[in-house]
């Protein structure tokens, strides 16, 4: 059994070497063609000057980087609040029994509304609208309300992912938890959620990657994040290189994050394949 | 290794000849149940969607009774057990535990479930918890027993059922028989007054059936009140104090196993048993 598996994996290994050679060659060809096409386009020199200017890169980098630090902070704050709030919404959404209907309905309305509005609209509406109300006791900063808008949207998406995980746990698990005399909430907490969360971790991590990029939306509020700093630089110098700086900064975080998500999902899949045997 | 003469057979309410009329299961107002009855199902009706599974189901279980529910697939054996454990709400009728109607509105269902234990066909252990955590979850969380106390009792029961060295393992490391014995321990942890067993050997490989039946036999000999839904006719003959043949959503015929399994009076019971014998199960 083990020997045959080893034999097969060796054979697969050879095939793997051959196919990775094919992959490298075709990648070089495809990217080569694209690069040549761009470099030989009639307006390339002007575009290079506008977007990939070394001097402008150095000049815009410090302010864009400072702006990016704000993006990172927004991201971190949101990442602390979203898991907790969305879990609460998902639990409410999953409660059974007529007594819970009103709050269940509220959760459904919340999720439907927040997922239905384009993020940039909600950021704009809350970020400009609520401070304009000048309600005493409420924060007046666009940063606060822009972040709140992002949190509200991502709570809705995250709650739906949690819920899909909860519903994927077999009904029999709920029955046997209830049969022990556990209350609905105890059954969720000790029997259902641990299984549900494990099921949806890859999906949750995809949302993390998406949020990491969406924090740039606060720039529409005039908040000096990476994108807005690049925009300011452009307005001053008529040069777009600052946007390239911002792009590289976002990529520097999101690409490793994405690779990590894929790696984790693959590892989780193979572990499950093992336990299923 | 057959059992001694089972304890006093109960007197299940007869398959009422006139019951055809009040299938709707309006609670009988006479209240003539024997005061000693541990559990009474009185005219219980249950439908899943359009499928009327139980139609005026009557059953009386006395303390220390071992009641075996037999009958063809889909006759409602599992439904009876799920309804008794209040996992599925009944549509009509009453279920009395120690004379108290537990299906009445406002009953604390969790408190009732803590007095009962149920074991499912497919074990349903929690895959993310070790065997020890599986069996102590109920006492610790639902009954607020301390961890130390719960684990002490758990280890005692686990070793009684031959699982002492499996306490730290996860369910996927255990065989089907070990899983099912762990599930039985989990149900026993809350010291149930009635144990409900839902075809607990049906999902097991044939060579593992014996170990689980042995456990149940021990429990029966220890005086545990039990209701078993089962296809194991030979086992029913050995341990049951009463065998009930279910048909058409009610008990068609009930009595001591030697009578029901050997000389049933109802034609449908006879046909069912003939098929079982042909399949080599009795």
ipTM of the complex: 0.81
**Pairwise pLDDT comparison (A85 vs A42), residue with the higher score:** A85
Q: Is-contact B268 B247, C-beta < 8 A?
A: yes
Classified as helix, coil or strand, B195 is strand
In this predicted structure, what is the pLDDT of residue B15?
44
Q: Is residue A9's pLDDT more than 70?
A: no
Q: Is-contact B67 B195, C-beta < 8 A?
A: no
Q: Do B141 and A179 touch (CB under 8 A)?
A: no
H-type alpha helices, chain A: 2-39, 44-51, 54-94, 101-116, 119-133, 142-168, 171-179, 184-186, 193-214, 226-237, 241-276
Q: CA nearest A186 in B: which residue?
A: B141
Q: A82: which 2 tokens?
A: 């979203």
Calpha distance B156→B194 (Å, rounded):
20
Question: What is the average per-residue pLDDT within A2-25?
Answer: 66
Q: Is-contact A155 A211, C-beta < 8 A?
A: no
Query: Which DSSP category does B26 fall into?
Result: P
CA distance B16 to chain A (A): 31
In this predicted structure, what is the pLDDT of residue A275?
57
Q: Is-contact A195 A107, C-beta < 8 A?
A: no
pLDDT truncated to tens, each residue of chain B (282 aa)? 444 444 444 444 444 444 444 434 344 445 454 456 899 999 999 999 999 999 999 999 999 999 999 999 889 999 999 999 999 999 999 999 999 999 998 899 999 999 999 999 999 999 999 999 999 999 999 999 999 999 999 999 999 999 999 999 999 999 999 999 999 999 999 899 999 999 999 888 888 888 889 999 999 999 999 999 998 898 899 899 999 999 989 999 999 999 999 889 999 999 999 888 888 766
What mean pLDDT is reported for chain A?
88
Q: CA nearest A193 in B: which residue?
A: B128
Which pTM value belongs to this model? 0.78
Strands B225-229 and B92-97, by their bridges, are unpaired
Contacts of A159 (CB under 8 A, 6+ apart): A86, A87, A89, A90, A93, A107, A111
Burial A202-233 (b: 16+ CB within 10 A, else e): bbbbbbbbebbebbbbbbbbebbbbbbbbbbb
Contacts of A71 (CB under 8 A, 6+ apart): A215, A216, A218, A225, A226, A250
User: How many cross-chain Cβ pairs, A to B, lie less than 8 Å apart?
Assistant: 63
In this predicted structure, what is the pLDDT of residue B188?
94
Task: Give chain B's contact residues with A (Cβ, < 8 Å).
Answer: 82, 85, 87, 110-111, 113-114, 116-118, 120, 122, 124-129, 137-138, 141-143, 172, 183, 186-187, 190
Chain B residues touching residue A275 (CB < 8 angstroms)? 172
Chain A residues touching residue B107 (CB < 8 angstroms)? none
């Amino acid at each position: 059994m083990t020997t045959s598996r080893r034999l097969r994996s060796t054979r697969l290994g050879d095939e793997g070497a051959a196919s990775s050679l094919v992959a490298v060659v075709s990648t070089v060809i495809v990217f080569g063609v694209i690069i040549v096409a761009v470099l030989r386009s009639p307006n390339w020199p002007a575009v290079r000057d506008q977007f990939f200017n070394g001097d402008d890169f150095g000049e815009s980098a410090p302010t864009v980087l400072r702006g990016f630090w704000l993006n990172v902070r927004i991201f971190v704050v949101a990442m602390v609040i979203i898991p907790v709030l969305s879990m609460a919404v998902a639990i409410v959404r999953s409660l059974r029994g007529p007594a819970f209907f009103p709050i269940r309905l509220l959760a459904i309305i919340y999720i439907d509304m927040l997922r239905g509005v384009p993020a940039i609209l909600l950021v704009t509406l809350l970020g400009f609208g609520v401070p304009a109300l000048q309600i005493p006791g409420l924060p007046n900063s666009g940063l606060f309300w822009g972040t709140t808008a992002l949190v509200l949207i991502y709570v809705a998406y995250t709650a739906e992912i949690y819920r899909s995980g909860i519903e994927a746990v077999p009904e029999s698990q709920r029955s046997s938890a209830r049969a022990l005399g556990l209350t609905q909430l105890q059954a969720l907490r000790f029997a259902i959620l641990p299984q549900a969360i494990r099921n949806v971790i890859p999906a949750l991590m995809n949302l993390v990657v998406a949020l990491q990029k969406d924090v740039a939306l606060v720039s529409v509020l005039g908040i000096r994040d990476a994108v807005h700093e690049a925009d300011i630089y452009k307005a001053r110098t008529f040069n777009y290189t600052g946007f390239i700086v911002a792009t590289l900064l976002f990529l520097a975080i999101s690409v490793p994050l994405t690779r990590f998500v894929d790696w984790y999902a693959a590892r989780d899949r193979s572990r499950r394949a093992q336990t299923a045997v | 290794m057959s059992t001694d003469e089972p304890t006093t057979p109960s007197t299940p309410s007869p398959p009422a000849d006139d019951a055809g009329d009040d299938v709707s299961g309006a609670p009988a107002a006479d209240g003539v149940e024997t005061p000693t009855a541990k559990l009474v199902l009185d005219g219980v009706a249950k439908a899943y969607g359009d499928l009327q599974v139980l139609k005026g189901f009557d059953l009386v279980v006395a303390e220390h009774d071992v009641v075996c529910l037999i009958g063809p697939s889909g006759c409602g054996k599992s439904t009876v057990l799920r309804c008794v454990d209040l996992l599925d709400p009944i549509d009509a009728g009453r279920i009395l535990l120690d004379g108290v109607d537990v299906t009445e509105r406002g009953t604390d269902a969790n408190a009732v479930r803590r007095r009962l234990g149920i074991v499912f066909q497919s074990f349903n252990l929690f895959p993310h918890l070790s065997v020890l955590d599986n069996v102590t979850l109920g006492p610790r969380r639902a009954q607020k027993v301390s961890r130390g106390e719960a684990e002490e009792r758990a280890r005692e029961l686990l070793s009684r059922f031959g699982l002492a060295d499996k306490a730290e393992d996860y369910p996927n490391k255990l065989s089907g028989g070990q899983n099912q014995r762990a599930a039985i321990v989990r149900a026993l942890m809350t010291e149930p007054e009635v144990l409900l067993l839902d075809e607990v050997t049906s999902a097991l490989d044939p060579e593992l059936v014996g170990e689980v039946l042995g456990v149940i036999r021990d429990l029966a000999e220890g005086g545990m009140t039990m209701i078993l839904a089962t296809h194991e006719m030979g086992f029913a003959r050995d341990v049951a104090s009463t065998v009930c043949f279910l048909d058409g959503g009610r008990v068609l015929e009930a009595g001591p196993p030697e009578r029901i399994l050997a000389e049933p009076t109802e034609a449908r019971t006879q046909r069912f048993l003939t098929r079982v014998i042909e399949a080599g199960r009795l």
